[in-house]
Every structure is written in C-alpha cells, then in structure tokens.
Amino acid sequence: MQVTTYAPADLVAMGLAMPPTNAPGARFNYSNTNYVLAGLLIEAVTGNGAAAEVQRRLLRPLKLTGTSFPGNDPTIRGPHGGAYFAPFGVRDLSEFNMSWAWTAGEMIATTADLNTFFRALLGGDLLSPATLDEMLNAVPMLPEMPEAGGYGLGIYSLPTPCGVFWGHDGAVIGHLTFSMHSRNGARQVSSGINISHYQVGLPDPHPIDVAWYTFLLTAMCPASEMNSRSTEAVPQLPSVTRMPGNDAAVAVP
C-alpha cells in the first residue's frame, strides 16, 4: 500500500492556493488551514514540535492516556470503531496516514478524554480567566441567524432548550465526532459515528443522523426541558457541513 505523507508547509500552500471565502473579518468560515497555521505558530514560538507541546502542556498534566498524535503511523492503536464511509460503499478506512490533517485533525482520543479536557478547559484549569474569556468571545456562525450559535477561538457555542453548550465537532474520512459541554461542565456528551449521508451534503437527513442528533440533544437536556424542540432545529455542525473537498477539525474513533 502506498502511503503519502504531507508536510505542514505543503498543507498551508494548498490552502492559500484556494480562493478566499470572504474578505477578512467579514463573516465566519471554518478552515483546516487555520489550525495547521496554529500548529506552525506553536513550533515557531516554542522551538518544539506541536505534538510534543500538546503532550507536555495538556495530555500529561490531565492524564489523557487515551489521546495521542499518530504522526505518519496509519494505524489506530487499541479498541476503536471502524471508519466506514458510506459514499464510497462499505469500506473501512481506519488505516490512514493522517499527516494530511496534522494539527487540524491528526489527534486520536477517547470520548472520556474529550470530556476530561473540556471540563478542565471550561473550568479554568488550562487558561487564565482573561484568555478563556477571549477564547469564548464568539462571532455568529450564521450572520443571518445569530441565535444559531457562535464560533470562538477553536470552540463554538450551541443553543439548546436547556442553555448554551460549548465544544466542537470534527470529521475525517469515515469518522464523525461531536463533543459538547455546559459552561460549568455539569453536563457533557461526546459521541462518534461513521459518516453517512446527511453530513456529505444530500438534502434530506438520513434516519441514522436523526437518531444520533436525538441522542445528543437528549444527553444534553433532560426530558423535562425538551419542550417541543425537534432535532431539525439543531444547527448543522460547522466543520462538517462544508463544500465538497473541505475537511474538518478533530476525529475521535
């Protein structure tokens, strides 16, 4: 099997070669290239590899033993779900060189580690109060619908019938993850599934996607607070509802 490895600088060059989505600051648009640039900034400022800095500053202090950067290793270690990608037929794409995503989506983690990380982040254990406030200063993802949620610095807000939740979604080929948390960390839900039909742009939600969204909303909100809100009212996930060819942020098997 031929394995292609991409250098971060090559990923940035590919991103910058694409036409701009809008004028700077005009509106929100998700971009993997921004996260790759963030990784290069980490390396330029610290003089160390981005993965090593994440390990030193986050994974080791929080004891996130189920989280890692695979680098050029295409294998997912330990128990994990398969990466079945419906648009390509029933194919398991679990073995994949994730250098094409690097700091935009190379990391592998467990859902338990995701919950631990977000609980520490939103609880103020990782950043100063001023820095955390800046991170959570979100702009509307849909300017025409500001009530649909906002995007901050690597995190977004999502309104629900029981209050605003914070977190992120992410997708790579075959894996789709959603991780959302109440501001005080009392309610958390992290879940992953295979990518089916809805996420790749077909007009009607697939029953599997409807069932998954129902599960996520039920996990976030007690039945007594659901009212008549339906899963169709949940805003689409910003990093997976992209034009064909765009990819997403973080995938967690």
Q: State the DSSP string of 45-84.
A: HHSS-HHHHHIIIIITTTT-TT-B--TT--PPPSS----B
CATH number at residue 152: 3.40.710.10
Rg (CA), the chain: 18
State mean pLDDT over 41-51: 97
Identify the H or E element spanning 208. Answer: helix 207-220
Is residue 216 within 8 Å of residue 176, measured between CB atoms? no
Out of 6-10, 137-141, 171-175, pick the least confident: 171-175
**3-state class of 191 per DSSP?**
strand
What was the pLDDT predicted at 88? 62
More confident residue, 251 or 161: 161
Residues 6 or more apart from 228 whose CB is under 8 A from it? none
What was the pLDDT predicted at 244? 32
Residue in this structure with the two tokens 């910058």, named with its chain if needed: 16
More confident residue, 169 or 204: 169
Confidence of residue 224 (pLDDT cuts 50, 70, 90): low
More confident residue, 41 or 208: 41
Residue 225 has pLDDT above 70, yes or no: no
Q: Tell me, yes or no, whether 111 lies in a domain.
A: yes
Q: Tell me, yes or no, whether 247 lies in a domain.
A: no
Q: Tell me, yes or no, whether 108 lies in a domain.
A: yes
**Cβ neighbourhood burial of 183 (10 Å; 0-12, 13-18, 19+):** middle
Is residue 100 within 8 Å of residue 109, measured between CB atoms? no
CA 125 to chain CA centroid, Å, is 21
**3-state class of 180 per DSSP?**
strand
What was the pLDDT predicted at 246? 35
What was the pLDDT predicted at 95? 84
Q: Tell me, yes or no, whether 244 lies in a domain.
A: no
Q: Tell me, yes or no, whether 253 lies in a domain.
A: no
Q: Tell me, yes or no, whether 240 lies in a domain.
A: no
Residue 38 has pLDDT above 90, yes or no: yes
What was the pLDDT predicted at 250? 33
Q: Tell me, yes or no, whether 123 lies in a domain.
A: yes
Domain that holds residue 142: 8-233
Identify the H or E element spanning 163. Answer: strand 163-172
**3-state class of 236 per DSSP?**
coil
Q: Tell me, yes or no, whether 162 lies in a domain.
A: yes
Query: What's the total number of domains in the chain?
Result: 1
Residue (of 74, 162, 158) closest to 118 by Cα position: 158
Out of 26-30, 68-72, 73-77, 195-199, pick the least confident: 195-199
Confidence of residue 167 (pLDDT cuts 50, 70, 90): very high
Kindly report the average pLDDT of the chain as a whole number: 83
Residue 235 has pLDDT above 60, yes or no: no
Residue 230 has pLDDT above 70, yes or no: no
